[in-house]
Amino acid sequence: MTGGKMGHYNEMFEGESVRDPYARLSQWVGTMPDDFRQMKQAEAEALFRRIGITFAVYGEGGDPDRLIPFDMMPRVFEQAEWRKLERGIKQRARALNAFLRDVYGRGEIIRAGRIPARLVYQNEAYEKAVVGIVPPRGVYSHIIGIDLVRTGKDEFYVLEDNCRTPSGVSYMLENREIMMRMFPQLFRNNRIEPVDQYPALLRRTLESVAPPKCTDRPTCVILTPGHFNSAYYEHSFLANLMGVELVEGQDLFVDGEFVYMRTTTGPRRVDVIYRRIDDPFLDPLCFRSDSMLGVPGLMDVYRSGGVSICSAPGAGVADDKAIYTFVPEMIRFYLGEEPILNNVQTWTLWKDDDYKYVMENLPDLVVKEVHGSGGYGMLVGPKSTKEEIELFRRKIEANPSNYIAQPTLSLSTCPTFVEEGIAPRHVDLRPYCLCGDRIELVPGGLTRVALREGSLVVNSSQGGGVKDTWVLSE
């Protein structure tokens, strides 16, 4: 194994020598016989299937019980690297929540001319129904998933923020669980910070934002769209680990000032709802009237302080790809600090200069839909054929303000098990930041890996895999 391809930062190497955090792993891999690796890989797969962690891929049909590929080679951060990331992530989470509080209140940042009003108030995710409501502790987004990429030893960029209901945390937990079960020796030889406190921290976070009318210990629930949802496993997994009920809309009803769930011993009041359904489906009386997933009257109870909804309706306005470009500005405006983590340079196609530049340089850029997610509706210029680029060009021309463009980053790679042995593959990182009375971050996150050689798309819906993510303690 060597330092990998030219141009891409390989996280395992410094020049030709193995970096400290990977030293023991490198030995471990070096002494592992091929057949042992294959045996362990099969074992891991059997464990995943048995536990039932599967991922249905949107729009592909086929096997709904498909497994997300798991790579046994962990990705490692040393303590100093992680501390910097942690500070940057928490800073960003504070700024995003301050922004939400502002734009549903007086809108100071807009009055100050730092963000165009149109981008906020005409945003699809901006929810007029919650203007003027300040949720408990002023927190709108309680679980923020921040997608990071690395391009060099000390170069990290934020790719996007997820303020609504970021998924994938169950993989962070299960990947660790399975690694510990299969390779206990590795964990004895390396001092790795644990992540399994996440469910308890999440529950604590949810309880800390109980509504004003809740006087006892708050009852929290997870609201799922149901077992047909591709993330249903994660919903039931978290409910199980937190010891809270997993409810569907039909299990809840509004009576007077409160929300109740239907139980075998009669109605039971619900104080905090960690919802995993989108805003438009929350309450058919307030949003989409054809929604069967939500709870009629929920928003009235929310407005009058009878229940907390996490994340708050309307939180999505902060994680839009157009708003993204202004997050460094938010950090300066609300916190009076300089951003610790950088944004990726972004061209917004509704500006004439940007539009011109992007259209002239399409083959070198990554173009994304403003509201797209999951790796759909994007163009990776350098990886696309002429035809694909021209096809995409016409889509942009039809609706330029629907797109942003970014340079093609030279994503870092991590050693990854592949058919032929071990090879570098591109990775990203999604840590999960919890915001309640405190801001917490477990040392770790979900590392996604693009398993196809040279591919930059790590989304699980596009054939990406996952890795265990280690933070070494001092």
Partner 1 sequence: MLSRTASNLFWMGRHLERAETAARLLDVGQRITLLPNTDAGYQNEWNSLLQASGTAGVFARKYGEATQEKIEEFIFFDRDNPSSVVSCIEKARESGRIVRTALTSQVWDALNVTYQELRRIERTPREQLDTASLTDFTTGHTSTVRGAINATQLRNDGWHFMNLGYSLERADATARLLDVKYFVLLPRIEFVGSGLDSYQWQVILRALSAHRAYHWAYGGDITAGRVADFLILNGESPRSLITSLYEAVWHLEGLARRYGPDVPASARDKAREVLDALQERDIEMIFDEGLHEFLSWFIGELASVSALVHQDFLLGGA
Contact positions toward partner 1, by CB under 8 A? Answer: 50, 52, 226-227, 236-237, 239-240, 245-248, 250-251, 253, 255, 260-267
- DSSP H or E stretch at residue 213: none
Of 31 and 265, nearer to partner 1 (C-beta) is 265
Minimum CB separation of residue 240 from partner 1 in Å reads 4
Partners of 438 in the beta sheet? none
Report phi then psi at 315, rounded to 5. -65, -20
Of 148 and 247, nearer to partner 1 (C-beta) is 247
Minimum CB separation of residue 197 from partner 1 in Å reads 20
Minimum CB separation of residue 89 from partner 1 in Å reads 30
Residue 363 and residue 196: Cα distance in Å, rounded? 43
Minimum CB separation of residue 362 from partner 1 in Å reads 45
Of 52 and 382, nearer to partner 1 (C-beta) is 52
Of 196 and 245, nearer to partner 1 (C-beta) is 245
Residue with token string 């509201």: 371
Of 114 and 262, nearer to partner 1 (C-beta) is 262
Q: Is the dihedral of CA 237, 242, 246, 249 positive or negative?
A: negative
Structure tokens at 97: 């929540």
Minimum CB separation of residue 256 from partner 1 in Å reads 13
Minimum CB separation of residue 29 from partner 1 in Å reads 31
Minimum CB separation of residue 268 from partner 1 in Å reads 8
Whether the ω angle into residue 141 lies within 30 degrees of 0, i.e. cis, is no
Long-range pairs for 291-300: beta carbons < 8 A, 24 or more residues apart: 291/249, 292/249, 293/225, 293/226, 293/248, 293/249, 294/249, 295/249, 295/252, 295/253, 295/254, 295/259, 296/253, 296/254, 297/253, 297/254, 298/252, 298/254, 298/259, 299/129, 300/254
Minimum CB separation of residue 250 from partner 1 in Å reads 7
Of 227 and 332, nearer to partner 1 (C-beta) is 227
Residue 227 and residue 237: Cα distance in Å, rounded? 12
Of 245 and 329, nearer to partner 1 (C-beta) is 245
Longest alpha-carbon distance in the chain: 68
Half-sphere CA count of 89, side-chain side, radius 13 A? 31
- CB neighbours of 83 closer than 8 A, spacing ≥ 6? none
Give the DSSP letter string of 57-90. PTTT-S-TTPPPPEEEEEEEE-HHHHHHHHHHHH
User: 3-state DSSP call for residue 285?
Assistant: coil
Of 68 and 103, nearer to partner 1 (C-beta) is 68
Report phi then psi at 282, rounded to 5. -65, -45
Minimum CB separation of residue 446 from partner 1 in Å reads 22
Give the DSSP letter string of 92-161. HHHHHHHHHHHHTTT-HHHHTTSS-HHHHHT-TT--GGGTT---GGG-S-SEEEEEEEEEETTEEEEEEE
Of 197 and 240, nearer to partner 1 (C-beta) is 240
Residue 129 and residue 108: Cα distance in Å, rounded? 19
Minimum CB separation of residue 220 from partner 1 in Å reads 14
Of 263 and 361, nearer to partner 1 (C-beta) is 263
Minimum CB separation of residue 199 from partner 1 in Å reads 13
- CB neighbours of 273 closer than 8 A, spacing ≥ 6? 220, 221, 222, 223, 252, 259, 307, 308, 309, 310
Of 227 and 438, nearer to partner 1 (C-beta) is 227
The 10 Å Cβ neighbour count of residue 363 is: 13
